[in-house]
Structure 1
Amino acid sequence: AKALPAATPAGLVLAAGPLRAEPRDVRVGCRLSDLPEGGLVATGSARRRVQLRELRPDLRFAELRGNIGTRLAKAADFDAVVMAKAALDRLGEHPPVVDVLSCEAMVPQVGQGALAVECRADDGRVCSVLAAIQDPVARREVDAERAFLATLGGDCTLPAGAHAHVRGDTLAMRAVLADGPDGRCHTVVGEDEDGVALGRSLARQLLDTVAW
């Protein structure tokens, strides 16, 4: 779900989202506390870079893109590589050193760990079939996170993240947005029964705070 446009194109609908996998990021190769001064961390994500810089201003960063196999093959060239835990889990990859980052320390990408099935809005038969794999909790979380990103007017390249989780009858969310790819991170948290309204509200709070 994290690679989908924040706004669903006209004529299409997100018909289903199955049970969500692990939303957190992981650091492969070295734990944060073990990274040397000025350590080189590989990631192609602006969101990850700005948050890691908040934790360790001394770190250096290198671009690393490609599929999971490509990134793991190049891991030895860096002190650490950061990627989504769900990607490793789904491929059955188990690198020797994996440091799982909390959602508080590293707010995930919108929709990270979640799958989404998109189809034509007017295809009632397909929508009905897909309803069988719908997980209501995952859908509620992802809808809230996507509302956040859509209100920002951004996509997965933005130095922003959001993580929502159901807490009883309400939905809690933590969201982050940086001033720019090398800027300071701003974090907001909130809770509401209406997840979409919460996502939009947190986005507006950040837009009022962050200097663009």
Structure 2
Amino acid sequence: MQRASLKIGTRGSALALAQAQSVRTALLHSHGLPPQNVEIIPISTQGDRLADRPLDLIGGKGLFTQEIEAALAAGRIDIAVHSAKDMPAVLPQGLHLSVFLPREDPRDAFIGRWVTKLADLPAAAKIGTSSIRRRAQLGRLRPDLQIVLLRGNVQTRLEKLIKEGIDGIFLAYAGLKRLGLSAKATEILPLDRFVPAPGQGVIAVESRKNDKRVDALLAPLNDRKTCIETACERSFMAALDGSCRTPLGAYAQLNGEKLHIHGIILAPNGAIFHEIRTSGALEEAIFLGEQAAAELKARAGAGFFADWKKAE
């Protein structure tokens, strides 16, 4: 194990590199490896290069993973580190999300320019976001607001808040905390009012299936609670064909032997929504997510997603 060498692939943003460094540090400490034996390889992705268009119109979440997963499949890197919330429901053949680090705070953060709380914004105030989940939930809570496209990394979005006359933006609180920027948040939205993306706050490690050497290195890093909760949320997303074109949120929480999930699906403007709170045994995490999704599909009716997609 002392001679093990590992290459970690990641996007090149400050947050992505910080997350990759967390994995690197955990690997070094878990196995007593010398620092030179675990290397971080930044990889440019199409999603980062096409930062001026809505993701749901140019290919969705996969734009942030394609180049990294190609390097992983080809053996140019040994593992890939991602934000779990950015991972599509379906992964390339031969790859899987094998490890989940302990979850950071999953809530969404509001950063106001003039006011500290979302409720204090005046009518027609401009909110910047690229997430259709956030757009839909904002439409549900504050249909009077103007939503403007805002993409880019955390620092870029914070700069645009000042430079582009936007009144407020939303970011994952976990990302702000990992960058030492938690003080930038002026309000943390409660989970029952603003449901996070599946896997929000979770660092996921993607690897090749049946790679025993890498499996042995990664095993000590996996957090059982986070793994169970994320599996439930991702099964909910997968059952609803979750992508950057689907406004949905899901948050699962393991308490003892009981697993609870709160899921929501919305029309893009938030005017129509359906949500569910249910629970089950932790051993049935995937089934619980699928069951919650099936219940919402039944409530919404067969035309729910088709109707709003036709209207786009």
> Which TM-score bucket, shorter chain as reference?
over 0.9
> What are the Cα deviations for residues 40-73 of structure 1, in whole angstroms up to 9, with x where unaligned?
1111111111111211221111110000011000
Name the SS of the counterpart of 1:41 in structure 2: strand
Of the structure 1 ranges 87-96 and 157-166, higher mean CA displacement relative to structure 2 is found in: 87-96
Which structure 2 segments of 5+ residues have no match? 1-83, 306-312
Q: Which aligned segments of 4 or more residues in structure 1 are displaced greater than 6 angstroms?
A: none
Alignment of 1:109 onto 2:192: no
Which residue pairs with 2:78 in the alignment? none
Question: What's the secondary structure of 1:164's corresponding residue?
Answer: strand
What is the match of residue 163 of structure 1? 251
- Identity among equivalent positions (%) equals 37
Structure with a larger share of its residues in helix? 2
Q: In the TM superposition, what is the alpha-carbon distance from 1:142 to its structure 2 partner?
A: 0.5
Write out aligned runs for 1:26-175 (5 A). 26-29=109-112, 30-76=116-162, 77-96=165-184, 98-175=186-263
Work out the CA distance in 2 between the residues paired with 1:143 and 1:60. 34
AA matched with 1:202: A
Contact 1:161–1:176 (CA under 8 A) maintained in structure 2: yes
TM-score in terms of structure 2 length: 0.65
Q: How much does 1:156 deviate?
A: 3.7
The residue number in structure 1 matching 2:44 is: none
Q: CA deviation at 1:94?
A: 4.0
Report the CA distance shift for 1:144/1:189 in structure 2 as closer, same or farther (over 3 A): same
Which of 181, 193, 196 is the equivalent residue of 2:286?
A: 196
**Taking structure 1 as the reference length, what is the TM-score of the superposition?**
0.94
AA aligned opposite 2:139? R
- Could you say which residue in structure 2 is the equivalent of 1:24? 107
For the aligned residue pairs, the C-alpha RMSD in angstroms reads 1.5
Shift of 1:93: 1.5
Paired residue type of 2:241: G
Q: Deviations over 1:65-111 (max 9, x none)?
A: 00001100011321110110011111111455520001111100111
- TM-superposed deviation, 1:181: 4.9
Contact 1:15 1:119 in 2 (8 A): yes
> Matches of 1:70 and 1:138 in 2, distance apart?
29
Are 2:89 and 2:237, in contact at CA under 8 Å, matched by a contact in 1? Answer: yes
Code of the residue aligned with 1:57 in structure 2: it is P
Determine the C-alpha separation between the residues in 2 that align with 1:86 and 1:180.
Answer: 25
- Tell me how far apart the structure 2 counterparts of residues 25 and 144 of structure 1 sit (CA, whole Å): 20
Are the equivalent residues in 2 in contact too, given 1:45–1:157 (CA < 8 A)? no
Among 98, 119, 132, the residue aligned to 1:15: 98
What SS does structure 2 have at the residue aligned with 1:128?
helix
Partner letter of residue 20 of structure 1?
A: R
8 Å CA contact retained: 1:107, 1:163: yes
Alignment coverage as a number of residue pairs: 212
Q: Secondary structure at the match of 2:85?
A: coil
Distance 1:204 1:165 in 2: 19
**AA paired with 2:119?**
S
1:2 aligned to 66, 76, 85, which one?
85
